[in-house]
Structure 1
């Protein structure tokens, strides 16, 4: 994978993934969607107008550390204001994050990633318009936050991660975290090119 680039003539943002990379990205995005929708904060099968007017969202900070990181408390010094803010915003924010992750899944599948990866040597060419590329970028941020939270990544701890043996599952997960960061960086460069 060489990262994202911008096609000079069409303005499309393009990338080529191996089948393994595309499947890994789809899996991560799918896990994020599942996590975001695993609680009652996101209304399902609701009339769009009714959903806009439904302010019965959660009022407490999520118990899952990843969700707490993705939806931090807005007013740390005022519990009542924080609960009201969360009630009015979290459902919509979850839905937006979920839709961004689904855009990655749809983009990979539209580019030819089969429902189950069985073919060796498969390559997926993804072409994104700038708006869709920005959606992917937002989801990459969410994916990195989720991975960093699960791994316990902290600022300045690079030496710890690079000292782990390759066979340590944490090292492998950290490599994925860094790979998503690379994708994010090249996507930003492609969008600003």
Structure 2
């Protein structure tokens, strides 16, 4: 992958890069997996009469049992965030209510971000030209993929290095690659004061 670069100005700004065919296939596969588990989460949500009458979607009231989904859809409140709310029942009720109301909207936003990546990926590799709004959705989708892969690898806040012959070494390499792609994209989005000649000098 080449670095991301910013071109144009105003409404004509585009965030551009180039991906190899295998990079596109890898990213599309991971995005499709995220889409699948999020869609399954929506489909398994309980249905109630109030939701049907008002048209307001409601979701699960309990956190996902799956580790990956749990990383993508964490609880809104943790007791350590507000020490005075330590009762387990209060925390459960609060999280359940917040999750039921907000989880469908959160999943919809994640699916929209995933769809944007799939729609803008060149299937056989090649150039990518994103609007700033599309680039923001790319960032969101890349975050979700990294969260899912991090859950599988057991990555937390501590740095982790794996030996080359470790069974999960290849997955860790993909995680690191995603981190670079995302980091370069953030830099391109934030660098609106850079001139085109400056971007060209770092390619």
Q: TM-score range by the shorter chain?
A: 0.7 to 0.9
Runs of 4+ in 1 over 6 A off after TM superposition: 49-52
The residue that corresponds to 2:15 in the other structure is 13
Structure 1 segments unaligned to the other structure (5+ residues):
44-48, 114-121
Residue of 147, 169, 178 corresponding to 2:149: 147
Asked if 2 retains the 8 angstrom alpha-carbon contact of 1:42 and 1:92, the reply is: no
Count of aligned pairs: 173
1:131 to 130, 133, 146: 133
TM-score, reference length from structure 2: 0.78
The residue matched to 1:30 in structure 2 has which SS? helix
Say what the alpha-carbon RMSD is for the aligned residues: 2.2
Matching residue within 166, 181, 187 for 1:183: 181
Indicate which of 27, 38, 60 corresponds to 1:58.
Answer: 60
* Alignment match, 1:73: 75
2:91 counterpart of 1:89: no
Does structure 1 residue 98 correspond to structure 2 residue 111?
yes
The corresponding residue for 1:118 is none
Which has more radius of gyration?
Answer: 2
1: CA distance between counterparts of 2:95 and 2:175?
30
For residues 131 and 14 of structure 1, what CA distance do their matches in structure 2 show?
Answer: 13
Give, in angstroms, the shift of residue 97 of structure 1: 0.5
Quick check: 1:70–1:142 contact (8 Å CA) kept in 2? Answer: yes
8 Å CA contact 1:41–1:90 kept in 2: the answer is no
